[in-house]
Structure 1
Amino acid sequence: MELTVNLKWPAALTDPSGRRFGKPRSEGITMVIDKGLGPHAFEDLMATASDYIDILKFGFGTSPLYPAAVIRDKIELAKRKHITVIPGGTLLETAVAKDMVPAFFRHILALGFDGVEVSDGTIELPRSRRSELIRQASELGLKVFTEYGKKIFGSRIDVLDFAQTAQEDFAAGANLVTVEARESGVGVGLFDERGACREQDLTEMLKVIPNRGRVLWEAPLKEQQVALIKSVGPEVNLGNIPVQDVLALETMRRGLRSDTFELNSRSLSDYVI
């Protein structure tokens, strides 16, 4: 006689925090940066971690370097897993600099991208042009994720300018506003030259954010992810997560790792709002 074994983990062990939900998520979004995974590695990523990825970004300007068939297959597989796929913002900045924005939009649509990142981390982009790009992408049916901040080492966040930029981006049609930290997470935006979170800057920014569910924080390093989860909560939106860290981040969101084990006994009122 065969014994029937229930392989489904009890809910209290799957998510001790009781705060995580399935896709589509409006909070607790995880954006992953792909800097050149091959087809087999990408399939492995989708097989093991797709449930915990909401947005997949082909980093900076890597998209044109793939064979067309490879990138189309990767995009198609990710979309089947209900993941929004976007090219890196630097590629659109290149298109702006080369006066090739229409060609850029035509090409990403043909490849199957369903989102786009609008940024000015490397170039100067007038406010009117930024809004125009957001509206243009939205009208094409793309989800728009804007980015605030410069990629220059030592650049800081002007809290009031961030609040104004976010408000105007949302008015133009942006879905989320991302706080720049590069893929290194060191010496840019919210993080100092050692990669540590500037806690006072974070507190000031949280005061001016009208809807924290519409702000995504680039946080590629574990210590940064821990700091934001502890300050904002498991529902914080995090980006530029390395592909190998997706499951590790999800355990921290759920209180399944010692770094955030305390989440299991905290309520929403315990977090900085």
Structure 2
Amino acid sequence: MDVTSRLEWHPLLLDPTGCRSAKPRTNGQTMVIDKGLGLHAMEDLLQTSAPYIDLLKIGFGTAALYPTDLLKRKIELARQHDIAIMPGGTFLEVAVAQETVGEFFDMVRLLGFTAVEVSDGTIELDRHTRNELIRRGREAGLLVFTEYGKKLWGSTIDTEMLLETVLIDLQHGAALVTIEARESGTGVGIFDENGQCRDEELRQIMQLLPDPDRILWEAPQKQQQIYLLKALGSSVNLGNIAPHELFSLETLRRGLRSDTFVKPL
């Protein structure tokens, strides 16, 4: 008899919160940002962490820098582990600016990507064009993740504009709407120049949003992840997580780290 096959942690040790669900998840999703992982690093990441990754973003425009065969292999690995994978939204913004949107979607489809991000963090995107990009993604059979917010240092959130954007994006078929925080998490969106959350803005946003489970918060810093997990619950959707921080975040979600540890009543 193979004794090792019966070696499992007690459920209360595996997830003291009792709230963590398995994939496919409708909440508590984690988006990892990949800024240039090699194939071996990708394989190592998936070997340990695939159950905890819902979405993998090939950050910025880095998808253009890979040898095609290598990029296709990375995409295949993600798909094998039920992880949605997409190029960064900035890359689509480049395509819009260069008037090569058709060619962009052709390559996304041929490479095997399963998702796309529609954003306007760097360029101005009118509502009609945004709707059209969402539609094209959906017609290509892709999950569409949209993003609200500018990447410019010091940019903040207009709560009324955010609500309008979320409602229309979801109406047109977006799976989730991401709140911009860049990879730094400082001086953008709900985070101030020190990376601290602007409490009043967060409260206003949460009061307005009809379905918080359809929002993904970019939170690259540990302190931001802890804050949002405590403020919004362990099933909050979080993004722009560095690969090496993934295990850390998963322990925070489950109460397996002192920052989110809760003693039983």
TM range (shorter): over 0.9
Note the alpha carbon deviations across 1:190-249, whole angstroms, 9 max, x for none: 100000111111111101111111100000000000000000101100000000011110
Q: Tell me, what secondary structure is at the counterpart of 1:186?
A: coil
Measure how far apart 1:172 and its partner are: 1.2
Question: Structure 1 residues 3, 90: closer, same or farther in 2, change over 3 A?
Answer: closer
Is 1:255–2:255 an aligned residue pair?
yes
Runs of 4 or more consecutive aligned structure 1 residues displaced over 3 Å after TM superposition: 2-6
* Paired AA for residue 236 in structure 1: V
Measure how far apart 1:4 and its partner are: 3.2
* Aligned position for 2:3: 4
* Aligned position for 2:67: 67
Aligned residues: 264
* Aligned position for 1:220: 220
Q: Which runs of 5+ in 2 are unaligned?
A: none
Instruction: Write the distance in 2 (CA, Å) between the matches of 1:197 and 1:164.
Output: 22
Q: Tell me, what secondary structure is at the counterpart of 1:260?
A: coil
Task: State the percentage of identical aligned residues.
Answer: 55
* Aligned position for 1:117: 117
Equivalent positions of 1:161-176 (< 5 A) are 161-176=161-176
* Paired AA for residue 65 in structure 1: L
* Aligned position for 2:108: 108
Question: Structure 1 residues 88, 3: closer, same or farther in 2, change over 3 A?
Answer: closer
* Paired AA for residue 27 in structure 1: N
Note the alpha carbon deviations across 1:147-182, whole angstroms, 9 max, x for none: 000000000001111000000101111110000000
* Aligned position for 1:185: 185
* Aligned position for 1:211: 211
Measure how far apart 1:3 and its partner are: 8.9
Note the alpha carbon deviations across 1:82-108, whole angstroms, 9 max, x for none: 000000000000000000000000001
Instruction: Write the distance in 1 (CA, Å) between the matches of 2:156 and 2:182.
Output: 13
Measure how far apart 1:52 and its partner are: 0.1
* Aligned position for 1:16: 16
TM-score (norm 1): 0.95
Is 1:38–2:43 an aligned residue pair?
no
Measure how far apart 1:265 and its partner are: 4.8
Question: Structure 1 residues 7, 194: closer, same or farther in 2, change over 3 A?
Answer: same
Instruction: Write the distance in 2 (CA, Å) between the matches of 1:218 and 1:247.
Output: 17
* Aligned position for 2:140: 140
Q: Tell me, what secondary structure is at the counterpart of 1:224?
A: helix
